[in-house]
Amino acid sequence: MADELIVDIRKRYKGGPEITAALSLPLGKPQVTVLFGPSGAGKSTVLRAIAGLEQPDAGSIRCAADVWYDGARAIHLAPQKRRVGYLSQDYAVFPHLTVKANVAYGSHRANADGLLARFELTGLADRYPRQLSGGQLQRVALARALARQPRLLLLDEPLSALDAPTRLRMRGDLRQLLAGFEIPAVVVTHDRTEALALGDSVAIMIDGRLRQAGAVESVFDGPADADVAEALGVETICPAHVVSRSAGLVTVEIGHARLVAVDNAGPHPDVFVCIRAESVTIERNPSGNPTSARNHLPSRIVSVSPEGPLARVVLDCGFRLAAIVTRQAEEEMALRPGEPVTAVVKATSIRLVPR
Amino acid sequence: MEWQAIWLSLRLSFWTTLILLAAGLPAAYWLTFSRRKWKFLVEALVALPLVLPPTVLGFYILLAIGPHSPVGRLYAALTGGMLPFSFEGLLLASVLYSLPFAVQPFASGFAAVDRRFIEASWCLGVSRPATFFRVIVPLSIPAIFTGMILSFAHTLGEFGVVLMVGGNLAGITRTVSISIFDDVQGLNYQSALHTSLFLLGVSFVVLAATYGLRRRVWAVWPMS
């Protein structure tokens, strides 16, 4: 049997929701598991419980053959004995020690110089943390955690303490760094792009519960329910009623509008229709030529709001449908609130989840 | 000027501060990080010398270290001497009397250390005691310094407890404050004036040096 980290815990804070989490991840291959969900969902608590900084109320945490926590047997292994690398949100680089002393802190035998070189910190070895930038602090914290050769890396919102340009740059760097060390990692984030950029697999946590887990693409393309779809940032989520099913396609009704979608929700009469804004095309004058898209919805523009190089357009086509277009397209087509347009959605871009 | 009394007070303050550093650090650590429900009782006990009249404290210490008390008998068995009206007895009383002036600044310093540094150290495999010396103490240096200065200054100026426990034996228990009192009683105002001035000067220099060396906002009055 391959070595696994198996977490199955419950924890309740006074006045808060109960946090339950059951997940397992393979320790053999160096893959990154993203624990994703909105703020306050309990992601950090799960991470801290794995690190040993938080004691669950019940359940168990096992790492390969070792029991780290077992509520029934009153086992709670100290963080010192778990050999995990834990990075808190703001890295907690010791302010009274130099970069080199920070990296060598946990392990006297560690090859601090090698790690400094690998993390491009050699020139900063004698600096103090207050003289470093956010990105540099993150590298120091990572090097320090890796000096102990942990079995597992735990990163709590690793990019949230950085300013926006640094965050963009570090997202790619972090992915490469994590891939370079043969250590499995769990990364907590509430940012969708971060989850996509960093993760091999993802576990979605909402309101203290683990709702869906799997490979990143399969979870992002196929949310299991409306809550997960919302957490993943799917802009349009509407309750709909199935009218007919045939040949793998399904026709659903939302108010007076009808949509054709690929039947992927199972035999449920009531579903949620999930449509990403980037899958919606807006047409001014229907050409009448046949197109591959199955859904052409006569709509009226409700609002147009610019978002950098893009514009978010909300349409009323019997239900509220969000679309995202370039500013260029918006100007060329002169999209203004109140005007009639046609919304085009491919049947394959509609995700149905059971209601 | 009573040089003998000044020298005695300085020695007493030095040893009191040293003992409070050794005993106060673990005590403050326990007070800061223990999760015992009855911790508040110990906190109140440590703070008692702040509110109790020195005579009351001195009286109890005198009873506790008397030749017929367990402590007194143990001390006699070990050393053959007696604690009351001796330098050692005075030292013990001073340590108890100045306890909150060391422990409270230490504890508030420890409590101000960001918990994430402590947790980071634990996750790097460093034990709790080692984390205390490698992270908590270095990050609490200003607070520890404050506690030591306050203990030293407080011991230098103590009067009531000394009078109760140590009496007035030249070279053994006659501290600066006792000698000033003695001089005034004997209408020897000139000597009292000089010694007082010296004490005032030393106290001011010590406190000014504390503030000047590290221009930070520290409470001079211990607060938790």
Write the DSSP string, B89-156: HHHHHHHHHHHHHHHHHHHHHHHTS-HHHHHHHHHTT--HHHHIIIIIHHHTHHHHHHHHHHHHHHHH
What is the ipTM for the molecules in this complex?
Answer: 0.80
The answer, yes or no, to whether residue A21 has pLDDT greater than 70, is yes
Among chain B residues, CA nearest to A54 = B119
- The tens digit of pLDDT for each residue in A260-274 reads 998 877 788 888 899
pLDDT confidence of A208, banded at 50, 70, 90? confident
Spatial distance between the Cα atoms of A338 and A316, rounded to a whole number of angstroms: 10
Q: Which residue is listed with tokens 């199972």?
A: A266
Per DSSP, the three-state class of A312 is strand
**Which B residues in the span 133-152 are in contact with A, Cβ-Cβ below 8 Å?**
134-135, 138-139
Does the pLDDT of residue B222 top 60, yes or no?
no
The enclosing H or E element of A320 equals: strand A320-326
User: What is the chain A residue with the closest CA to B122?
Assistant: A80
Lowest mean pLDDT: which of A64-78, A97-111, A136-150, A293-307?
A97-111
What is the percentage of chain A residues whose pLDDT exceeds 70? 98
Please choose, from the candidates A265, A271, A257, the residue with its C-alpha nearest in 3D space to the C-alpha of residue A345. A257
Helix, strand, coil percentages in chain A from 3-state DSSP, rounded to 5? 25, 35, 35
CA B161 to chain CA centroid, Å, is 12
Partner residue facing A80 (CB), from B116, B117, B125: B125
Rounded Cα distance between A280 and A323, Å, is 5
Confidence band of A217 (pLDDT split at 50, 70, 90): confident
The type of residue at B110 is F
Whether A53 and B122 lie within 8 Å, measured CB to CB: yes
Question: From the list B122, B125, B139, which residue is nearest A148 (CB)?
Answer: B125
Average pLDDT, chain B: 88
- Mean pLDDT over B11-18 rounds to 95
B143, amino acid identity = A
pLDDT band at B221; cut points 50, 70, 90: very low
pLDDT on residue B219: 43
Q: Of A82-96, B9-23, B102-116, B209-223, which gets the smallest average pLDDT?
A: B209-223
Distances (CA, A) of A281 to A347, B88, B90: 13, 90, 89
Selected residues 84-123 of chain B with any CB under 8 Å from a CB in chain A: 114, 116-117, 119-123
How far apart, in Å, are the Cα atoms of B108 and each of A179, A249, B152, B153? Answer: 43, 68, 19, 19
Task: Please judge whether B123 and A96 are an interchain contact, meaning their C-beta atoms are less than 8 angstroms apart.
Answer: no
pLDDT beyond 80 at A289: no
Report the C-alpha gap between B104 and A284 in whole angstroms: 74
Backbone angles phi, psi at A348, to 5 degrees: -75, -10
Min CA distance, A349 vs chain B (Å)? 44
pLDDT tens column, B83-126: 888 899 999 999 999 999 999 999 999 999 999 999 999 999 99
Q: What are B71-85's pLDDT values in tens digits? A: 888 988 888 888 888
- Say if the Cβ atoms of B123 and A53 lie within 8 Å: yes
Q: Identify the bridge partners of residue A320 per DSSP, sorted by sequence position.
A: A316
Q: Report if pTM > 0.90.
A: no
- pLDDT tens for each residue of A103-143: 999 876 667 888 888 888 889 989 999 999 888 999 999 99
Burial track A235-250 (b if 16+ CB lie within 10 A, e otherwise): bbbbebebeeeeeeeb
Long-range contacts of B80-89 (CB under 8 A, 24+ apart): B84/B165, B84/B166, B85/B165, B85/B166, B85/B167, B85/B169, B85/B172, B85/B173, B86/B166, B86/B172, B86/B173, B87/B8, B87/B11, B87/B12, B87/B166, B87/B172, B87/B173, B89/B65, B89/B165, B89/B166
For residue A145, list chain B residues with Cβ-Cβ distance below 8 A. 123-124
Residue A304 has a pLDDT of 93
C-alpha to C-alpha distance for B218 and B222, rounded to whole angstroms: 9
Task: With residue B188 as reference, give the H or E element that holds it.
Answer: none
Average pLDDT over residues A17-31: 83
B68 lies within 8 A of chain A by CB: no
Instruction: Sort strands A185-189 and A32-36 into parallel, antiparallel or unpaired.
Output: parallel
Whether A128 and A100 have beta carbons less than 8 Å apart is answered as: no
Residue B155: HSE in the Cβ half-sphere, 13 Å Cα cutoff? 33
With cut-offs at 50, 70 and 90, classify the pLDDT of residue A196: confident
Question: CB under 8 Å to A277, separation ≥6 — which residues?
Answer: A235, A236, A312, A322, A323, A324
A53 and B117 within 8 Å at the Cβ level: the answer is no
B37 touches chain A (CB under 8 A): no
Q: What pLDDT band is residue A2 in, cutting at 50, 70 and 90? A: low
Q: Which residue has the higher pLDDT, A39 or A140?
A: A140
Using pLDDT thresholds of 50, 70 and 90, give the confidence band for residue A14: confident
Average pLDDT of the segment spanning A74-94: 92
pLDDT value of residue A281: 92
| A85 SS3 class | strand
* Mean pLDDT value across residues A327-355: 90
pLDDT band at residue A232, thresholds of 50, 70 and 90? confident
| B160-212 residue pLDDT tens | 898 888 888 888 888 888 899 999 999 999 999 999 998 899 888 888 877 77
Output the DSSP codes for A155-176. Answer: EESTTTTS-HHHHHHHHHHHHH
